[in-house]
Amino acid sequence: MTDEMVLATTLIGTEPMVRERLQVWQKAGVDTVRLYPAGATLAARLDTLGRAIELVREVSRSRTAAAAAE
């Protein structure tokens, strides 16, 4: 599997990278994502999951606001 395939189908990287990927998926019509948060401990995985949910909400809100402005 190439790096491009991994990046196109997973949410890995920095927060800006993940945000951008979520925006691309949303524009393509993706409305469901499955999250497998990384972390060495349960607490770390829960922190990662919480931040991922926040990013999804941010992207969703920005898309809703942009649609309302049109």
Q: Could you tell me the residue ranges of all domains in the chain?
A: 14-19+37-70
Which helix H or strand E contains 61, and what residues bound it? Answer: helix 42-69
The one-letter code for the residue type at 51 is R
- The reported pTM is 0.78
- pLDDT digit string, tens, across residues 37-67: 999 999 999 999 999 999 999 999 987 777 7
DSSP for 17-55, written as a single string: HHHHHHHHHHHTT----------SSHHHHHHHHHHHHHH
pLDDT of residue 31: 87
Please report, for residues 57, 63, 64, 68, 70, the alpha-carbon distance to residue 10 in angstroms, rounded to integers and kept in the order given.
Answer: 18, 20, 23, 29, 30
- pLDDT digit string, tens, across residues 3-43: 888 878 888 889 999 999 999 999 999 989 888 999 999 99
